[in-house]
């Protein structure tokens, strides 16, 4: 975006016959699409009187979703017109000041390294592998008519299959491409979140575009934090009430 101190990192892992074409096209075009979406959100933030350098999470979320969907639409026209030629994962990180914003699509990973009190390195997972065996992902796929099951030759891996055909057997629940499955529950909408300290929770509330959205945004953060700390456990109930005492 031409801003000092702002860094974009992305890993795009292609699969299928045209996987290399998918990953290269995403590498060459997604950063600029995301940059334009962020600039537009920043412009809207300034117009509404918010701090340009501290864009609210809902704006980050909208920027990622907008650019990922546009990227997928471009891939459908330029890379794969028949829908059976593969696709690509995407794990992306933006560092802006003391913020980290992660956009995840598929099963590539981002990991943060921090240090414990004894100075030992501690890995902190920043993403969850978005696969069909996650209950919420499987439910979305089922609601769209797709099927989730393991192939006989690979019983340990659950895959997405078309409603009436045993193909293509995709082992992830979100991806660019794989257009034959896009009406069967596969989505190009990324899982987006940012990493904040506890003290920044009040900033989330203060930056919510509407008071009615503050609690929902906080719940989203709480759910992601639970997933990061306890990836093998079911998510506990998360409830938030934001009581505004002053006009």
Q: Where are the domains of the chain?
A: 6-195, 196-247
Instruction: Give the global pTM.
Output: 0.78
Question: Residues 92-150: pLDDT tens digits?
Answer: 999 887 788 999 999 998 888 877 889 888 887 888 899 999 988 999 999 999 999 99
Please give the CATH number for the structural domain made up of 6-195. Answer: 3.60.40.10
Helix and strand totals (H; E) in the chain: 5, 12
- Which of these, 49, 231, 212, lies nearest to 125 by C-alpha position? 231
Inform me whether the pLDDT recorded for 233 exceeds 70.
no
pLDDT band at 203 (very low <50, low <70, confident <90, very high): low
Inform me whether the pLDDT recorded for 88 exceeds 70.
yes
Question: Residues 49-68: pLDDT tens digits?
Answer: 665 556 777 888 899 999 99
User: Rounded distance, CA 203 to CA 200, Å?
Assistant: 5
Quick one: pLDDT at residue 115? Answer: 79
Question: Residues 219-232: pLDDT tens digits?
Answer: 887 777 666 665 65
Inform me whether the pLDDT recorded for 200 exceeds 60.
no
Query: Which residues, 6 or more positions from 231, have their beta carbon under 8 angstroms from its beta carbon?
Result: 125, 128
Cβ–Cβ under 8 Å, residues 211 and 242: yes
- The 10 Å Cβ neighbour count of residue 181 is 25
Inform me whether the pLDDT recorded for 199 exceeds 80.
no
Quick one: pLDDT at residue 138? Answer: 93
Question: Residues 65-86: pLDDT tens digits?
Answer: 999 999 999 999 999 888 899 9
Look up residue 87 and give its two tokens.
Answer: 């696709």
Look up residue 154 and give its two tokens.
Answer: 């690979």
Quick one: pLDDT at residue 57? Answer: 77
């Amino acid at each position: 975006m031409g801003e000092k101190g702002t860094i974009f990192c992305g890993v795009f892992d292609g699969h299928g016959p045209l996987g290399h074409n998918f990953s290269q096209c995403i590498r060459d075009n997604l950063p600029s699409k995301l940059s334009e979406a962020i600039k537009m959100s920043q412009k809207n933030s300034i117009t509404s009187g918010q701090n340009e350098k501290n864009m609210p999470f809902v704006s980050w979320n909208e920027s990622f979703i907008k650019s990922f969907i546009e990227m997928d639409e471009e891939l459908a026209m330029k890379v794969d017109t028949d829908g059976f030629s593969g696709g690509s994962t995407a794990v992306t990180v933006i560092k802006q000041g003391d913020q980290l914003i992660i956009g995840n699509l598929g099963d590539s990973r981002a990991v943060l390294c921090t240090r414990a009190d004894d100075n030992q390195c501690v890995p902190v997972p920043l993403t969850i592998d978005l696969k069909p065996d996650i209950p919420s992902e499987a439910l979305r796929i089922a609601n769209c008519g797709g099927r989730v099951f393991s192939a006989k030759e690979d019983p340990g891996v659950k895959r997405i299959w078309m409603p009436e055909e045993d193909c293509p057997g995709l082992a992830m629940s979100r991806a660019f491409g794989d257009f034959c499955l896009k009406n069967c529950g596969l989505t190009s909408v990324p899982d987006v979140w940012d990493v904040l300290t506890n003290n920044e929770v009040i900033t989330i509330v203060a930056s919510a575009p509407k008071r009615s959205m503050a609690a929902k945004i906080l719940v989203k953060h709480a759910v992601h934090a639970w997933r990061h700390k306890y990836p093998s456990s079911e998510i506990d109930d998360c409830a938030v009430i934001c009581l505004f005492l002053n006009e």
